[in-house]
Amino acid sequence: NAGVMQNPRHLVRRRGQEARLRCSPMKGHSHVYWYRQLPEEGLKFMVYLQKENIIDESGMPKERFSAEFPKEGPSILRIQQVVRGDSAAYFCASSPPAVLAKNIQYFGAGTRLSVL
């Protein structure tokens, strides 16, 4: 059973470009979460999605950031017009409904975004 798959592992963008980060949850998992980790800090929650629905986006910046989890295909975190402050590690996690009440989330290896 493959784990949570994120790609790309490393992404370099110039200021003003768009960044698209992809996440395929573990098989059987229908809940996806995105977190961001800045250097020397812990992970900060961004958004929680189920198939075709955004459940909680309280951690998403108001502008330039969006997320989706379509019926088919991976979840996408999209950052438009990137700025240097967007440079961070972005982690995706997934969970199956059966353990949802226990809040156990399984993480991917992350995408490290560098904005030049």
Partner 1 sequence: DQQVKQNSPSLSVQEGRISILNCDYTNSMFDYFLWYKKYPAEGPTFLISISSIKDKNEDGRFTVFLNKSAKHLSLHIVPSQPGDSAVYFCAAGANAGGTSYGKLTFGQGTILTVHP
Where do contacts with partner 1 occur on this chain (CB under 8 A)? 4, 6, 31, 33, 35, 40-45, 48, 55-56, 58-59, 91, 93, 100-110
Indicate left, alpha or beta for 42 from its phi (over 0: left) and psi (-120 to 50: alpha). Answer: beta
C-beta atoms surrounding 106 within 10 Å: 16
Nearer to partner 1, 18 or 56 (CB): 56
**Least Å from the CB of residue 111 to partner 1:** 10
Nearer to partner 1, 55 or 83 (CB): 55
What's the CA gap between 4 and 15, in Å, rounded? 29
